[in-house]
Chains A and B, each alone.
Chain A
Amino acid sequence: MSDLEEHRTPVSLNGLSEDDLRLQPLAKNPQTVERVIAVTFLFGTLFVAAFGASFWVNAKPWILGATMGAGLFLLGVGLVAWGKYLMPRGPFVEERHTLANSDADREAFAAAIVERGGSVVKRRKMLAGILGGGMGIFGIVALFPLLRSLGPLPKGTLFHTDWRKGSYAVDQTGRRVNVGDLAIGSIVTVFPEGTENSDRGQAVDQTVLIRISNQNFTTQKGRETWGPMGYVAYSKLCTHLGCPVGLYEQQLQLLVCPCHQSMFNVTNGAIPQFGPAPRPLPQLPLYIDSNGNIRAQADYDQPVGPGFFERHRVTGSKL
């Protein structure tokens, strides 16, 4: 015993006694808590091992998740309980020193920057000015090409679609739509022939073709020839934010946008009847050729889709 004593060295407890309450665990019965935590750890370890095994045998995803989740969760709970109930309960305290330095230090710091830098810059005003100007210009000059190289300029692309005079309306599979194809009250999404598989065709040219009746249908004054045999076509791009206006309510004759519930009346030129869309869906003028194919008289008379700054005020006239 005394032999061991020699090899011990005193360590300060900051004046706390060994049995100070703050150094004791919070748990009333540390032994019991320890046992509970041991069981938690044990099961946690088992689950983690089970996770490994289920990964090995390529078990179903939910088994992987369940074993990993349960394992981590149990280990975590045990660890938190260990920290909370079996470690010294405290509370312990630490001093909070002011972050601010003494006035002298602050002054010295400020002086170092203002005086030192100031005298250098003041004496060489011209140099500093030219350098500053050069760097500033470089900043602006560098920023522009950086942005500019990211993509093309919009130019006219926002104003036109790929619909042309005489474009055949084809469905998603590329089949030309014939006058006999649609029953009254049916709807199909069409594209100008040749674009049905392109990204732009899908995103910009998409058009809904609805058969409203079996006689020529006029949606608005000046559009007397646009709806031959009851076929009317509108851009499928919602004028709010460009979602495809995919839902056709036949009884109400409404096209509904599923994104924010804008509703467009197909009988009067798709004037928005409800919701946040600000403009009617542009209408595509159609004609039926001698073979009975549905074709476009021209491109849309205004930009399709959501609004943007350069979009001119449009009153039905050609852009």
Chain B
Amino acid sequence: MSDASATNKRAQREAAGPYGKIGQTLNELDDRLGIAKGGRTFMDKIFPDHWSFMLGEIALYSFVILLVTGVFLTLYFVPSVATVIYHGPYKPMDGQRVTEAWDSTMNISFTVRGGLLMRQMHHWACDIFVGAIVVHMARVFFTGAFRKPRELNWTIGLTLLILAIGNGFLGYSLPDDLVSGTGIRIAYSIMESIPFVGSYLAFWVFGGNFPGTATIPRFFILHVLILPLVILGLVGGHLFLLVRQKHTQFPGKGRTEKNVVGSPMFPVFIAKTTGFLFIVGGITALLGAFAQINPIWQFGPYDAARISYAVQPDWYMGFLDGALRIWPSWSFMGFGHTIPLEVFIPAVILPGIIFNVAYLWPLLERKFTKDNEIHHLLDRPSDRPKRTAFGVAVLVFLAMLHIASSTDVIANFFHLSLESTLWGMRILVIVTPIIAYPLAYKICKEMQSYRGGGKRKTPNIVSRTAEGEYVATPTPAYGEDVGHELDATPVPTYIEVEPDEPVESGVRTVDR
């Protein structure tokens, strides 16, 4: 009886092959999709390890959070500016005439279970998303990761940044509260400022003279469907190119233009990156729980004739707002026409120049350096002092513009006159990048001459001998065998640490 069942089991195991049920399933899949070879290669795919390579992951995962929380919000948000009377748990607003958009956002915040948390997480995830993209791009720029063959991925990434900013602005506008309504008003006027076509464009985009009833419904469909789809597609393309071209790596022991050294996709990278998704999600949830963001009940519904004094756009709009503040009030009038240069230059031309230079940068650099080689090894920023200095100058310029978006706060805080703050900012915006360039250049040069800079040093043990002599002996590096000091090896078929039984070298047996 027991003998028979034992034989039976063994027969079953034999039929299943050495990898059991999973192996069987994989075989079935391979019969149909032919995935075994590619799948194995994919499992062995190597991801270089460096902390700065996770910046893109933060962006990706905050986008995932945006999608998840966004779907939740879409279920309750009503994209309409029809007037309703507010009757809800927030008593100070009871009985007020508000729009359905505002009303439903209040409903999400006060009535829907978990709604406020989802709203705040969504908003925080957006701020993190744009921020992570910017920092990730800075990494790519300073390390020269945009060079051939990756110019296209740089372009896609930059487009993603623009779309992220745009979609952030659209989403910010949807609740139709006092602060965001002012933002829409400003966007309308900026569009109107474009010579020749401005007023037509504004009428067509917003469906008529400001405020136009089409604004919120159009913003909604752009925000929840069209732009997310485009972003999703481009993210797919971005990742496809990343896989196809393989990740760049910093120079180091055994790392060449012809290999990739790091951790394999499965299981190491998968574990770390999934953990990272959870961490980003966790931090977003904690921010959503403890850091209030966009409390629309404090602002009240939009009313074109009223304004909140705390007009602050989301952080990624700050540089535009700053530019609009400090640009002088020169308007062109003549030939029976007006060109509102006081708006057109800081709000259209300036970002146009910044983004176009960014788009063209890989080409420009190739022109200047005459470097048409394929690069998979990254530059250390200090090795390319000119590029680094230029990048630093641009970042300083943008940061100054950003600061200029709070001239009134600065003036209040330091008890300065608005006038001197304004002129101070105008000067700083121009002067600081000019100082930053040579300074960064000099620091790079300095770092080049200091070999081994940036490497972790092992502490010395200083001991005194019997003769009274002092001797310094370097401590052994951690474990004498820190990972990156080892030669890299191809991923073996079978990775298992701490074998439970001793086996012959080089061959491992598996339970059948």
Contacts and interface: CB of A to CB of B under 8 A. Distances in A.
A308 B488 contact: no
A137 interface: no
B493 A91 contact: no
A244 B304 contact: yes
Interface of B: 10, 13-14, 18, 44-46, 49, 81, 113-114, 116-117, 120-121, 149, 182, 185-186, 188-190, 192-200, 202-214, 244-246, 254, 257-264, 267-272, 274-290, 303-309, 311, 321, 324-331, 333-334, 336-340, 342-343, 374, 376, 407-408, 418-419, 422, 479, 481, 483-484, 486, 488-499, 502-503, 505-512
A89 B308 CA distance: 55
B268 A87 contact: yes
Contact of A70 (B205, B286, B334, B497): B286
A266 B16 CA distance: 90
B210 A69 contact: no
Contacts of B334: 313
A120 B112 CA distance: 63
Interface in A68-104: 68-84, 86-96, 98-99
30 contacts: A7-B13, A7-B512, A13-B508, A14-B492, A16-B492, A23-B495, A30-B497, A66-B289, A66-B290, A69-B283, A69-B288, A69-B289, A75-B282, A76-B275, A76-B282, A82-B275, A90-B489, A92-B44, A92-B263, A94-B246, A147-B204, A152-B208, A154-B202, A199-B211, A203-B185, A241-B189, A243-B307, A259-B311, A307-B192, A309-B194
B337 A309 contact: yes
A2 interface: no
Nearest to B508: A11
Interface in A30-89: 30, 55, 58, 61-66, 68-84, 86-89
Contacts of B289: 61-66, 68-69
B509 A80 contact: no
A172 interface: yes
B432 to A, nearest CB: 21
Contacts of A19: 499
A23 to B, nearest CB: 6
Contacts of A73: 278-279, 282-283, 285-286
A79 B204 contact: no
A20 B486 CA distance: 11
B419 A158 contact: no
B510 A9 contact: yes
A91 B338 contact: no
B204 A151 contact: yes
A200 interface: yes
A93 B489 contact: yes
Given A72-B282, A242-B188, A272-B329, 7 more contacts: A8-B509, A14-B489, A92-B264, A242-B185, A244-B305, A276-B342, A309-B199
A278 B340 contact: yes
Nearest to B206: A151
A76 B303 contact: no
A151 B272 contact: no
B507 A13 contact: yes
A202 interface: yes
Contacts of B376: 96
Nearest to A306: B189
Contact of A311 (B258, B275, B326, B337): B337
Nearest to B309: A258
Q: Point out which of A78, A94, A95, A277 has the most chain B C-beta atoms below 10 A from its C-beta.
A: A94
B278 A96 contact: no
Q: Is the interface of B mostly helix, strand, loop or mixed?
A: mixed
B488 A93 contact: yes
Interface in A182-227: 189, 191, 199-200, 202-204, 206
A206 B211 CA distance: 13
Contacts of B192: 306-308
Contact of A26 (B199, B209, B262, B483): B483
Contacts of A241: 185-186, 189-190, 324, 343
B149 to A, nearest CB: 6
Q: Sort A-B residue pairs by CB-CB distance and give the 4 closest, nearest first.
A: A65-B289, A73-B282, A76-B278, A79-B275
Interface string A91-135: 111111011000000000000000000000000000000000000
B198 A65 contact: no
Given A90-B263, A151-B205, A309-B199, A76 B497 contact: no
Given A66-B289, A308-B340, A96 B279 contact: no
B304 A61 contact: no
Contact of B506 (A16, A62, A95, A277): A16
A7 B309 CA distance: 78
B186 A30 contact: no
A151 B207 contact: yes
Contacts of A261: 325, 407-408, 418, 422
A17 interface: yes
Given A76-B277, A92-B262, A307-B331, A154 B285 contact: no
